């Protein structure tokens, strides 16, 4: 079932605000998928999903290895029969304001503030597709 990225149903948005471990799929340089567990925040007003990470992680290196603005990624979560996927193009933000905003959003969704990390970056996903059954 498709959803409007910028105007999701209340049920879909509520599902994305619950605490769930998600998966992130990024393309490796050889085109094969790299899938890892992550925390994700969804900001429908901006049409963005965000993932905080260490700048040395494979998922971040995968995005940086792609031509700027071309890395298509997907984040997904599920619980029982409910599931939700968001897709779009990812970029890596390193500026302090973007990282702080992403950390605050993560803390709000997951109920804990991650420990300080000077190597933290944020993967910002400009969303163009949403689907699922929430």
What does DSSP assign to residue 110? Answer: H
User: Contact 29/62 with Cβ under 8 angstroms?
Assistant: yes
Q: Tell me the pTM.
A: 0.96
Q: What is the pLDDT of residues 55-105, one digit of tens each?
A: 999 999 999 999 888 999 999 999 999 999 999 999 999 999 999 999 999
pLDDT at 69: 86
User: Contact 56/62 with Cβ under 8 angstroms?
Assistant: no
Q: Is residue 98 exposed (0-12), middle (13-18) or buried (19+ Cβ within 10 Å)?
A: middle
Grouping H, G, I as helix, E, B as strand and the rest as coil, residue 85 is strand
């Amino acid at each position: 079932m498709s959803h409007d990225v910028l105007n999701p149903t209340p049920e879909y948005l509520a599902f994305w605000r619950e605490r769930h471990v998600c998966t992130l799929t990024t393309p490796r340089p050889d085109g094969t998928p790299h899938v890892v567990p992550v925390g994700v925040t969804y900001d429908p007003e901006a049409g963005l999903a965000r993932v905080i990470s260490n700048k040395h992680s494979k998922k971040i290196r995968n995005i940086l290895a792609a031509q700027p603005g071309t890395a298509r990624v997907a984040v997904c979560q599920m619980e029982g029969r409910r599931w939700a996927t968001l897709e779009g193009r990812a970029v890596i933000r390193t500026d302090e304001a973007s990282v702080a905003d992403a950390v605050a959003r993560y803390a709000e969704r997951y109920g804990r503030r991650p420990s300080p990390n000077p190597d933290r970056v944020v993967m910002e996903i400009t969303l163009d597709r949403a689907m699922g059954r929430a």
